Structure 1
Amino acid sequence: MGEQVTQVTYDQCVIGAGIIGLAIAFKLTRAGQSVLILDKGGMGEGASRGNAGAFAFADVEPMASPAMLLKSPRWLLDPMGPLSVPLSYAPRMAPWMAQFARACLPTAHAASTKAQAALMELAKRETELMFEDAGLSNHLRHEGALYLYAGQRAFDAAADVWRVRAKHGVAFEPVTGARLAELQPGLGPRYTHAMFVPDWMMVSDPFEITRALGNQTVTEGAEFRQARVVRLQPGGETTTITMDDGETVTARQTVVAGGAWSGKLAAQLGDTIPLEAERGYNTTLPTDAFDLKRQLVVPADGYVITPLASGIRVGGAAEFAGMQRPPDYRRSAMMLKKSESVMQGLNTSGGKQWMGFRPSLPDTLPVIGRSSTSSRVMYAFGHGHLGLTQCAATATLVRDLALGQAPSIDMHPYRAERFC
């Protein structure tokens, strides 16, 4: 008789090797759990590869806001605007947009802001600690950010946003004239006012830090496999995870952290979560394209400009067009063109374009917590633009839930069943 092979049952299986999934895997491995990480691509090959590289702790106000409700119709009429939905995709987006509109109403917005601020506060406490524990502090940069405004009127129009941020402990400095020129020489004359956020933190390169965190997690004992998960079957003591080649593994607990691809797995378990793929675009220019001192945020046009080790990244905006439609790189070109008025003398040649899928939920909050139908499965997805920003906070919460410890913040706002 041949030798009998006994299948290993892992303590934890994390589905998704973006920055969220890898942060969770790192925290669980550090807690002494046996961890298997599964992803259809390599570590950090999804949205984490091309994000803007900033920890946007100041952005406590959800995108779903009364102000956005007023702006979005105008933006939607511009096919190259900051928010775009192709006409062919609009019928599919209608239910999501209806929930987004409800989340913009004052009472819902106030609740979402409170929840977002709580998550941001936890992220501020946990982020540097996590990367220090992983030996990756050298990837972090503390240069602050400038929110740019074209004139006094645009600056004054943003006052309510900054009042909310001040209420939640965000430090900032209004700057004009010589002070603005000192913080970023070479700005175009149109941008006369700014808010400087000194505590803003960035990474040297988002793909590199994501991959480094994953490699460190494997070094400390986790296992990584490149495989596409097609089915989850929770049982009494474990969940069986089936991959597209028919192989199965079992885990006592499973975390779905697959970004924009997470909705189908949640639906298998009976959790209907209105997850959409928000397509983000950018262009990364050579490092010598401009002498950029810190990240620039252009709120009126919905994009940011970031100095990375790999180059100057110009990107942002939101296109809701599903995951099958080919990329429309005119959006990257449009943002790059606009950035010429921000940075005088910018050399726009030699850039590399990119498009990725951000996991977006209508109230701007992620889903973090257990499936409504199985205590063996937890969710950690839907962070939109804020995956890097909220990765350490999310990982801390999931670790605490997995180990049966009380989370440090109220988990009710992030529950999966809130959309029912």
Structure 2
Amino acid sequence: MRRAIVIGGGIIGLCAGLELARSGYAVTVIEEHGDRTAASWGNAGHIATEQVAPLASFASIRSAPRRRFSAGGALDLPLSGIRAWAPFAVRMIAASRPARFAAGSRALASILAPSLPAWKDLTELIGAADLLRRDGHFVAWESDATARSGRASWGEADTGTTQFASATPDDLNRLRRTIAPSVVDAIRFTGSGQITDLNALADALEATLIAHGDTIKRRRATIALDGDKATIDGEAPDLLIIAAGAQSGALMRAMGYRVPLIAERGYHIRARADHWPADLPPIAFEDRSMIVTRYADCVQAAGFVELNRFDAPPDPRKWDRLEAHVAALGLPIAGPFERWIGARPTLPDYLPAIGRSRHARNLIYAFGHQHLGLTLAPVTAAIVGALARDEAPAMDISPFDIGRFGANRMTS
């Protein structure tokens, strides 16, 4: 039987491993950390099919000054991390040119469109259909002015397969009565979804792999390039998949690539869900760049875009601000709060890297999904499976080739 080794036990790696197992490979998933602290297991649980427009855009760049953390916003470029984010910012500006932005939107639309149906199929396959909700999400505002501006922005945006409409009077009354009295206006999206328990999802994916006879190992992976093959521990498997999130850059470097990947760090706080209605979908409080999600046994408030080194220490001020937002909104959650930080793997054009290596004929890569790792995991897995079977994927994946960043073959 052909062997495949997947480096990365996050949502992308586990889904890819399961797809390879179904394609006839004996699969080993290698994950260095066993505590599920990666971005895969701390995200907002939102299947964000509406986020078709890449964040690499002139609109994002123009709005950056007013969104900076020091001005009360969600964007932080710490001076201590300037060596990481300054080159990234230059590349992001280049990727924001209108032609590249338009091409990036088309590319994202092509893989976002099938993502919710793909999640339905996957959760049924692993016996966890109850973990998927397909009842959309809310976007809420706290003033008439921000509501007008927000509605106008969403009205002009390409939201792919999703649609939105004004929240009904009953929805608004309920939001004000049970969640946040300060909500002035809201819209509700349809066509988006939610995973209701990320830990249960990880358990189900791992259990399905193990039941299939595959293996999950908790250890560090050391890889090298030997001629035209990728090796691990001196041996060359039939396939090696790099799907290690924010740590994929170092692994790709061992394969001869220079990858402009940055750790786009997010923060969340969690507390007991005693007073939060279980049937409410995620709510994005757009004035505060914060999304609040009810999970099975907790409520989570998440936010911030911090461009930094992967190993930089966390900034406690961001947790403090999330707690302040929760208090200011009057949300029905209270401490003690569990605090978390995770690194979203982000490339300058805000498109993932998915493809087969030109350096090592047994190497496939799948990383760089920024805010959309959960959303795009089953679709990415299907692409990896097609590449492993030497089949054409269901959509054009050339926009996701890592070679788009130029001559990145290292010469020394």
Normalising by structure 1, report the TM-score: 0.90
Q: Distance in 2 between matches of 1:291 and 1:337?
A: 21
1: CA distance, partners of 2:227 / 2:213: 26
1:399 aligns with 2:385: yes
Q: Per-residue deviation at 1:83?
A: 1.0
Which residue type is aligned with residue 401 of structure 1? L
Structure 2 counterpart of 1:106, which letter? P
Q: Is the 8 A contact 1:23 1:395 kept in 2?
A: yes
User: Separation in 1 of the partners of 2:45 and 2:195?
Assistant: 5
Paired with 1:139 and 1:377, the residues of 2 have a C-alpha distance of: 32
The CA deviation at 1:35 is 1.0
Which of 157, 163, 166 is equivalent to 2:156?
163
Give, in angstroms, the shift of residue 345 of structure 1.
5.2
Among residues 297, 316, 321, which one is paired with 1:334 in the alignment?
321
CA distance in structure 1 between the aligned counterparts of 2:71 and 2:224, rounded to whole angstroms = 39
Aligned to 1:275, which of 241, 261, 270?
261
| Structure 1 contact 16–256 (Cα < 8 Å) conserved | yes
**CA RMSD, aligned part only?**
2.1
Equivalence for 2:136: 144
Q: Can you list the C-alpha shifts for 1:55-97, whole angstroms capped at 9, x where unaligned?
A: 1111112122222111112323627631101112123311100
SS of the equivalent of 2:251 reads helix
For each residue in 1:195-254, what CA deviation from the matched residue of structure 2 results, as whole angstroms up to 9, or x when unmatched? 201332111211221232122112112111112112232455x53213xxxxx4431111
**Matched residues in 2 for 1:340 and 1:249: separation?**
55
| Aligned counterpart, 1:241 | 232
Give the Cα–Cα distance (whole angstroms) in 2 for the partners of residues 82 and 181 of structure 1: 28
Give the Cα separation in 2 of the matches to 1:278 and 1:150.
27
Q: Deviations over 1:313-346 (max 9, x none)?
A: 001211122122221122022022113333x353
Partner Cα distance (1:223, 1:178) in 2: 49
After superposition, what is the alpha-carbon deviation per residue over 1:235-279, rounded to whole angstroms, capped at 9, x for unaligned?
55x53213xxxxx44311111000000001111222221101111
Deviation per CA, 1:121-171: give whole Å up to 9, x if none.
1212311111111111121123321011233332332324333335x3312
1-structure distance, mates of 2:86, 2:251 = 22
Asked if residue 351 in structure 1 is aligned to residue 343 in structure 2, the reply is no
How many residues matched? Answer: 404
- Distance in 1 (CA, whole Å) between partners of 2:374 and 2:60 is 23
1:117 is matched with: 109
CA distance in 1, matches of 2:167, 2:300: 24
- The separation in 1 between residues aligned to 2:35 and 2:117, in whole angstroms, is 25
The answer to whether the Cα contact below 8 Å between 1:239 and 1:252 also exists between their aligned partners in 2 is no
Question: 1:199-278 to 2 correspondence within 5 Å?
Answer: 199-235=191-227, 239-242=230-233, 248-278=234-264
- Given that 1:19 and 1:44 are in contact with CA atoms closer than 8 Å, whether structure 2 keeps it comes out as no
Out of 27, 30, 35, the position equivalent to 1:38 is 30
Q: How does 1:374-385 map to 2 (within 5 A)?
A: 374-385=360-371
Q: 1:364 aligns with which of 347, 350, 358?
A: 350
Cα 1:43–1:348 change in 2 (3 A) is closer
What stretches of structure 1 of length at least 5 have no aligned partner?
A: 1-8, 243-247
Letter in 2 for 1:262: S
* 2:54 maps to 1:62: yes
Supply the distance in 1 between the matched residues of 2:155 and 2:9 (Cα, whole angstroms).
34
* Residue 374 to residue 161, structure 1, CA distance change in 2 (3 Å): farther
Pairwise mapping of residues 14-25 of structure 1 onto structure 2 (< 5 A)? 14-25=6-17
In 1, the alpha carbon distance for the partners of 2:197 and 2:235 equals 33
Amino acid in structure 2 at the alignment position of 1:376? N
Relative to 1, partners in 2 of residues 1:174 and 1:82: Cα closer, same or farther, differing over 3 Å? same
Q: Residue 231 of structure 2 aligns to which amino acid in structure 1?
A: T
| Deviates further, 190-199 or 55-64 | 190-199
Give me the whole-angstrom Cα distance separating, in 2, the residues matched to 1:241 and 1:79: 47
Q: Secondary structure at the match of 1:374?
A: coil
**Mapped partners of 2:201, 2:176: distance in 1:** 26
Amino acid at match of 2:107: A
Q: How does 1:284-363 map to 2 (within 5 A)?
A: 284-291=270-277, 293-342=280-329, 344=330, 346-363=332-349
Distance 1:281 1:345 in 2: 18
| SS of residue in 1 equivalent to 2:167 | strand
Q: Is the 8 A contact 1:19 1:388 kept in 2?
A: yes
103, 127, 131: which one pairs with 2:123?
131
Q: CA deviation at 1:289?
A: 4.6
CA distance in 2, matches of 1:79, 1:329: 17
Letter in 2 for 1:299: E
CA contact (8 A) 1:329 1:353 kept: no
